[in-house]
Every structure is written in C-alpha cells, then in structure tokens.
Amino acid sequence: MGQSAQKIVSLDNGKLLEILNVAFAEEWLAYYQYWIGAKIICGFMGPNVQEEFEKHAKEELEHAEKIATRIIQLGGVPLLAPSDWEKHAKCKYEVPVDDDVVSLLKQNLESERCAISRYQQICDMCFGKDHETYRIAIEILQEEIDHEQDWENFLADIKRCEACLKTINNCEQTI
C-alpha cells in the first residue's frame, strides 16, 4: 500500500473506501446482470442487443477492476465475498423478469442511471481533494453515460420499428 498515495488524499479515507466498495459491489452485479441477460435474451433485435450486453458486461468488469485497484492503493480491501455485494450495493441487481428485449433493456437502463448517480457522487466527493480517484470516477462516469445512451437509442429504434410495422400492416389491410 502506498503511503504517499494515501497522504495526498485530503478526504475522510474511511468514507471514501466505503463508497468505493459500494461502487465495486454494484459493478459486479451490473456485470452479472449483463452477462445473464446476454444468455437469455430473445425477441426483436435480440442478436444485436445480445452483442451489446456482452460488450457492456466486459466494461462493467473493467470498472470493478479499476475500483478494486484504487481501493487497495488507498489501503482498503475490496469486498471479498460475493454475498456482500448485494448487501452493500445501493444500485440493486435487477433480476430479469422477462427474457424479452424491451424488458431487459428497461431494467438495464435503470441500472445505468443508478450507476451515473454513483459516479457523480464520487466525483463530487473527490473533486479537488483526491485527483486520482476523481480521474478514475470521471472515466467510468463517461462510460456509464454512454451505456445509458445506448439503451435509450435501442428503445427508441424498437419503438420506431414497431410504429413502422403497424403502418405497413394497416396499408396491407386497405389494399
């Protein structure tokens, strides 16, 4: 553990480690949510969304890795037991209620919005006080914002396609 790395942080280290472990737990749950979602997904545009879920799962795992490394640099210990992830996470794991694309997209959209608020909170906490954690948090925040945008775009595309199909069906009925 780096002594200087800890000394230059002008924040309550205990509080910072606590919130970083919350984020760490949430990243593992987000990873699994995408991973299992990619396995069970079906429906319209399913294969496209499945590919994106797999990509997102990989990115959530990278976030967990970055947070774990930072926790250790600050002299803390990342949560060691998976059973602690659900206890500590405030962005909860959304058990898939349906294997339909839209349902899974909506659940993951909610999770991304929660992740955005978590990294916004960490950025606010660290701004001007812990440059390194701030840098990591802002990097992750940018990716969570992209994730939210991806799902909003997919949901909008699906809506447009549905409207389009309805119009085609109506046209066929009048011919």
Is residue 118 part of the contact set for Fe ion (CB under 5 A)? no
Least distance (Å) from Fe ion to the CB of residue 62? 8
Looking at 147, 150, 151, 154, which residue binds Fe ion (CB under 5 A)? 147
Residues touching Fe ion: how many (CB under 5 A)? 6
Residues 43-62 that bind Fe ion (CB under 5 A): 60
Long-range contacts of range 160-166, CB-CB < 8 Å, 24 or more positions apart?
Answer: 161/44, 161/45
Whichever of 12 and 124 has its CB closer to Fe ion, that residue is 124
Least distance (Å) from Fe ion to the CB of residue 40? 19
Give the residues lining the site for Fe ion (CB under 5 A).
27, 60, 63, 112, 144, 147
